[in-house]
Amino acid sequence: MVTSPSLKSLSLEEMIRAAQEGDAYVLNHLLTSYQPFVAKSVSEVCKRYIDPKRDDEFSIGLSAFNEAISSYVPERGNFFSFAKLVIKRKVIDYIRYSQKGVTAVSLDETYDEEQMENPLEAAAVKENYDKEQDAWFRKQEIIEFAKQLNQYKLTLTELAESSPKHRDARDSAVATAKILYRDEALRDHVKRKHKLPIKELAKLVDVSKKTLERNRKFILAIFIVLDGDFVYLQEYLKGIGQ
């Protein structure tokens, strides 16, 4: 059985394998850590904000995520893509079943609120749902990001204080993190050691060791974003450091 400290050294694939072999601790960790991912996948089907504490659809999605963990094999491709497919299928089946005897409605159709007499009211309701949903997902991502930073002995406060102040320096650090992440050997090293391999990385980038050390925390933070299921945080990195 995997213990709490050793979870930090396991990759996602290794945790999935441990859960499949009956490790309840690891399985619970996965089900808890990826609730934001489940909620987002469910909301894409339901076309509305999903409250994990109140919506039945979330429970269906979480059960489907559990099923995805138990049935996943690497040959099925990226785990998150596979899990999202399983979640969506289960939620669609649930909605169809619960709507039995009711006029069938395509899951791709827009909100029922759009059938309101007042189109401005309908638009306002939909906009409010979208804002609530985005705010919740962003908050959950930050919470998960902070947890990941902690595994590298970093905090959000440290990150804010150590981030490069000039745009060119930030862009260079992001580019360095992307090069680090794309190198399989160095990527595995970082995930195992939770440290920046400055000597090896310096051979791949046009940046001095001194600069790499100065921006170490920021580079590691960007690496964490690239390696995780951080939809909103990754959006900020698009087009930077190409």
Q: What is the pLDDT of residues 141-161, one digit of tens each?
A: 888 889 889 999 999 999 999
Domain match, 161 and 103 both: no
Residues of the chain with pLDDT > 70, as a percent, come to 79
Tell me whether residue 213 is in a domain.
yes
Contact 42, 61 (CB under 8 A): yes
Tell me whether residue 144 is in a domain.
no
Tell me whether residue 148 is in a domain.
no
d(CA 227, CA 35): 17
Say whether pTM exceeds 0.75.
Answer: no
Tell me whether residue 171 is in a domain.
yes
Tell me whether residue 48 is in a domain.
yes
Amino acid at 101: G
Contact 186, 180 (CB under 8 A): yes
**Domain end residue (candidates: 58, 91, 114):** 114
The pLDDT tens digits for 199-223 are 999 999 999 999 999 999 999 999 9
Domain match, 169 and 110 both: no
Cβ-count burial 76-107 (b if 16+ within 10 Å, e if not) = eeebeebbbebbbebbeebeeeeeeeeeeeee
Domain count, the chain: 2
Tell me whether residue 182 is in a domain.
yes
**Domain extent at residue 45:** 34-114
Tell me whether residue 100 is in a domain.
yes
